[in-house]
Amino acid sequence: MEIVILDSTERIASAAADAVEQVLRTHETPVLGLATGSSPLPVYREIVRRHTEDGLSLAHARAFLLDEYVGLPHGHPESYREVIRRELTGLVDIPAASVQGPDGGADDVAAAGRRYDEAIHAAGGVDLQLLGIGSDGHIAFNEPGSSLASRTRLKTLTEQTRQDNARFFDHVDDVPYHVLTQGLGTIMEARHLVLVATGEGKAEAVAAMVEGPVSQVCPASVTQMHPHVSVLLDEAAASRLRLADYYRHTYAHKPAWQGL
C-alpha cells in the first residue's frame, strides 16, 4: 500500500488521472472500475479535460460501476449509471454499451449480483479500480460488518450512509435503503486500486484503513491485503496517520520512473 499525501485536490486528481491514462495507453482493451460519490469527481473532470484538450481516448475501454441503488426508476438522476454518464462517460468517447453497472432494478437481485461478477470476469477483470471511502470506513457500499470475501450482492445502507447521501436527494426519506454493490472480494480482484480521500471528515476512516487492523469494522482495511494499492490523500484526510511523515518521505524520494 502506497500512501501519497498531496497539498491540493488538483494534484490528487492529476495523480489519479495519470494512472488511468497509463492504463488507457498501455492496454489494448483496458477495463476501468468507476466509483461515484464526491471524492472521484475531480479525477473525472481531469480525465474529461485530457480527452477534450489532449485527445486522450477511452473508445477502446470498458467500464464497470461499483454499485447501484435498488428501486430507483430507470433514468433517475441520482442513479449511479446516470451520475457516471453525467460526470464522465457522457463527456468522453467511450461507447455507452461499454459501460456496465449492477442492475438495481432486477426482479432477482441476487441473480443480478452473480451475473455482474461473471461479466467482470468475462471482460478479463478490472485493470484499475477507482475508490472512495465512507466516513465509517466503507468502500463501495460494503458497510461495517461486511464479509471481507463478499461478492456483488444486496446490502442495506446504514443510517449514517443515508444521511451522508441525502445531499444528493430532495430529502433523506428519498434515499433508498438498499443497494446492489460489488463485494470486497470482487473489488480485491482488480489489479490496481486507486483510492481518493479528502477532508477532515475522512481522517478517522483513513487511519483505520491504513494503520488499523484488518477488520470487518473498517471494511476498507481489507485493502491492506492487496498487492497494488495507491491511497491519495490531502493533508486533512491524512491528519490522523501516525506515520504521515514517513509516507511523505518515501513519496518525495520515489524513483522518477515509477508511477503509482
Distances (CA, A) of 55 to 32, 35, 48, 195: 18, 23, 10, 25
Instruction: Decide if 76 is inside a domain.
Output: yes
Catalytic residue among 67, 103, 117, 164: 67
Does the pLDDT of residue 256 top 90, yes or no? no
pLDDT bin (cut points 50, 70, 90) of residue 158 is confident
Q: Is pLDDT of 229 > 90?
A: yes
pLDDT of residue 225: 98
The answer as to whether 207 is a domain residue is: yes
pLDDT of residue 165: 86
Residue 94: per-residue pLDDT: 98
Instruction: Give the domain CATH number at 201.
Output: 3.40.50.1360
Torsional class of 190: left (φ above 0), alpha (ψ -120 to 50), beta (otherwise): beta
Distance between CA 241 and CA 210 in Å, rounded?
A: 8
**Angle, alpha carbons 70-74-80 (nearest 5°):** 60
Predicted local confidence at residue 160, as pLDDT: 83
Q: Catalytic: which of 46, 138, 164, 234?
A: 138
Catalytic residue among 136, 164, 192, 234: 136
Residue 24's pLDDT is 98
The three state secondary structure string of the chain is CEEEEECCHHHHHHHHHHHHHHHHHHCCCCEEEECCCCCCHHHHHHHHHHHHHHCCCCCCCEEEECEEECCCCCCCCCCHHHHHHHHCHHHCCCCHHHEECCCCCCCCHHHHHHHHHHHHHHCCCCCEEEECCCCCCCECCECCCCCCCCCCEEEECCHHHHHHHHHHCCCHHHCCCEEEECCHHHHCCCCCEEEEECCHHHHHHHHHHHHCCCECCEHHHHHHHCCCEEEEEECCCCCCCCCHHHHHHHHHCCCCCCCC
CB 80 within 8 A of CB 186: no
* 260 domain-assigned: no
Annotated active-site residue in 21, 103, 117, 143: 143
Residues of the domain holding 205: 2-253
Mean pLDDT, the chain, integer: 96
169 found inside a domain: yes
The question of whether 93 is a catalytic residue gets the answer no
pLDDT of 161 > 90? The answer is: no
Flag whether 228 is in a domain: yes
Q: Is residue 206 part of a domain?
A: yes
pLDDT (mean) for 25-42 = 96
136: annotated active-site residue: yes
Number of domains in the chain: 1
Read off the pLDDT of residues 72-127 as tens digits, 9 standing for 90 and up: 988 899 999 999 999 999 999 999 999 999 999 999 999 999 999 999 999 999 99
- Asked if residue 258 belongs to a domain, the reply is no
pTM: 0.95
Query: How high is the pLDDT of residue 67?
Result: 96
pLDDT (average), residues 219-247: 98
- Kindly state the percentage of the chain with pLDDT values over 90: 90
